[in-house]
């Protein structure tokens, strides 16, 4: 059964009982520490009670120990979970988490498979596992209603044709730097694919510098054609100046979209250097716009500024891993990872500064302050932000006739919270959001296919889900 409104779980494991944290001072063993702080809600044997079981392999707000510890320490305001940084020490929090993990291991807990159906406010939906056994799938796009392309971060492009995954990956894909958060990222099909056959790839590109153990890298965009199961005719669409490549291995971005005028937009994360997102002479922390062949539009906002890179369309973005074009307005929407809190949804406008890292609604991973400012003149505040971070990722608008009640609503994927959300946007305001899928896995990308179905890319457990409406719940039988 779909958990639309999940009961608080691990991050509530100490949360609801703030006053019980004081009792931990008297605890002499880890088991006693758990019983004094958590058992009244989660059960003496972690089986659940007022709150959910802690040994069922389902984690509502991130399964990594660091996620759990941060949420226990700093709280989850959206779910009325208080912060426990003054009630329990870091050592005590980690002891309790270790105790729970050990219990879960002894129980042999196995994460349940995705549900076969779910119920939203509008539809009863059937879930089909379209493909499984993928290795860190990252991006998805459609050549036509029967042919799907999926990237795997280690450097493979896969084809799903007529509902079946080709066991062989596409040959000839460019070499990617698969380290940290890098690898083969997004894939997109040219708006005029039927005429030209172009397919676009985004990936982390390392400079071939012999003898260097940690070569500098940056996000790169290329295009090529599929001839059978082979990548051919490759052309470089975007490559940053080599002196601006970085040795860091995080925050590459990257999504690719096309607006109604045929411009190609792509995102590059700050590469772990937040301040550089404000520097117009650097590619990182930006949304870029080029023609599909890589040439630069003269209408770009910084085209005539000698100190700026002329591909830049907007700047001040931390790690944008979602781009989508509104079906009616043609405007570009962007989602980006915040640090601990401060995930953002932004409506992108030419030349605007979106503030990172000068303004943010998040805090650093150690709980420290990134910036004391949330707003500043001349900087855009997000249309929506999530605090704590849901690890927002791919986004796409619903199109077609399959989900008429969701027409032009925005699908939003979340990694840490393992969610797909549906946002109702009127103008530039989000007026409602609904969780339509929870705990199926880490959602890296979401897409609405040519058939109108909703497709979901799960990093873990490495599968593609297809959502199809069975019944409109607002229509009487």
Q: Give the residue numbers marked as catalytic.
A: 251
Contacts for 149-156: CB closer than 8 Å, 24+ residues apart: 149/187, 149/189, 149/199, 150/187, 150/457, 150/464, 151/184, 151/185, 151/186, 151/187, 151/201, 152/184, 153/178, 153/183, 153/184, 153/185, 154/178, 154/183, 154/184, 155/183, 155/184, 155/203, 156/184
User: Quick check: 336 and 343 in contact, CB under 8 A?
Assistant: yes
Contact 398, 324 (CB under 8 A): no
> What backbone phi and psi angles, to 5 degrees, belong to 31?
-65, -40
CB atoms inside a 10 Å sphere around CB 178: 18
CA dist 84 and 15 (Å) reads 7
Residue 88 region, left (φ>0) first, then alpha (ψ -120 to 50), else beta? beta
- Cα–Cα–Cα angle for 170, 172, 174, nearest 5°? 110
Phi and psi at residue 331, to the nearest 5°:
-80, 150
Q: What is the per-residue burial (b if ≥16 Cβ within 10 Å, else e) of 345-354?
A: bbbbeeebbb
Chain centroid to CA 327: 21
Which secondary structure element, helix H or strand E, spans residue 357, and what is its range? none
Q: Give the residue carrying structure tokens 């980690």.
A: 94
Indicate the burial class of 387 (C-beta count within 10 angstroms; 0-12, 13-18, 19 or more): middle
Q: For residue 32, give the H/E element and its range.
A: helix 30-37
Please report the beta strands in 66-183, taking only residues with DSSP state E, as ranges in sequence order.
117-119, 123-132, 137-144, 147-152, 156-161, 164-165
3-class DSSP assignment, residue 458 = strand
What is the distance between the alpha carbons of residues 59 and 42, in angstroms, rounded to a whole number?
A: 13
Tell me the three state secondary structure of residue 446: strand
> Torsion-angle region of residue 162: left (phi > 0), alpha (psi -120 to 50) or beta?
left
* Neighbouring C-beta atoms of residue 424, cutoff 10 Å: 14
């Amino acid at each position: 059964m779909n958990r639309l409104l999940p009961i608080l779980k691990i991050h509530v494991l100490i949360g609801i009982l703030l006053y019980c944290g004081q009792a931990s001072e008297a605890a002499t063993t880890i088991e006693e520490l758990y019983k004094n702080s958590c058992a009244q809600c989660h059960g003496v044997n972690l089986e659940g009670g007022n709150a959910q079981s802690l040994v069922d392999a389902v984690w509502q707000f991130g399964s990594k120990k660091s996620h759990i510890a941060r949420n226990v320490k700093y709280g989850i305001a959206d779910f009325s979970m208080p912060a426990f940084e003054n009630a329990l020490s870091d050592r005590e929090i980690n002891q309790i988490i270790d105790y729970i993990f050990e219990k879960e291991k002894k129980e042999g807990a196995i994460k349940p498979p995705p549900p076969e159906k779910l119920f939203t406010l509008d539809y009863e939906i059937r879930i089909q596992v379209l493909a499984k056994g993928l290795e860190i799938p990252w991006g998805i796009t459609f050549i036509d209603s029967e042919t799907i392309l999926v990237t795997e971060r280690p450097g493979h492009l896969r084809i799903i044709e007529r509902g079946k995954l080709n066991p062989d990956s596409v040959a000839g894909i460019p070499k990617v730097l698969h380290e940290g958060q890098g690898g083969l990222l997004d894939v997109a099909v040219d708006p005029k694919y039927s005429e030209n056959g172009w397919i676009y790839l985004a990936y982390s590109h390392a400079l071939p510098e012999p003898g260097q153990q940690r070569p500098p890298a940056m996000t790169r965009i290329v295009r090529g054609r599929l001839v059978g199961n082979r990548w051919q005719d490759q052309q470089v669409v975007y490559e940053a100046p080599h002196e601006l490549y970085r040795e860091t291995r995080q925050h590459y971005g990257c999504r690719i979209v096309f607006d109604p005028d045929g411009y190609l937009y792509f995102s590059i994360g700050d590469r772990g250097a937040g301040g550089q997102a404000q520097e117009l002479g650097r590619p990182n922390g930006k949304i870029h716009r080029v023609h599909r062949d890589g040439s630069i539009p003269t209408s770009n906002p910084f085209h005539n500024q000698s100190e700026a890179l002329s591909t830049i369309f907007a700047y001040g973005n931390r790690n944008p891993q979602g781009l989508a074009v509104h079906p009616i307005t043609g405007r570009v929407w962007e989602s980006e990872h915040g640090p601990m809190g401060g995930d953002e949804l932004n409506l992108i406008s030419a030349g605007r500064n979106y503030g990172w890292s000068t303004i943010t609604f998040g805090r650093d991973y150690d709980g420290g302050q990134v910036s004391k400012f949330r707003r500043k003149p001349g900087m855009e505040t997000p249309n929506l932000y999530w605090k704590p971070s849901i690890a927002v990722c791919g986004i796409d608008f619903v199109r077609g006739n399959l989900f008429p009640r969701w027409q032009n609503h925005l699908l939003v994927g979340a990694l840490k919270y393992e969610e797909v959300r549906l946002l109702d946007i009127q103008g530039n305001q989000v007026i409602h959001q609904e969780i339509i899928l929870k705990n199926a896995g880490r959602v890296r990308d979401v897409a609405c296919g040519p058939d109108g179905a909703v497709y979901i890319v799960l990093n873990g457990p490495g599968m593609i889900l297809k959502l199809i409406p069975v019944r409109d719940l607002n229509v009487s039988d």
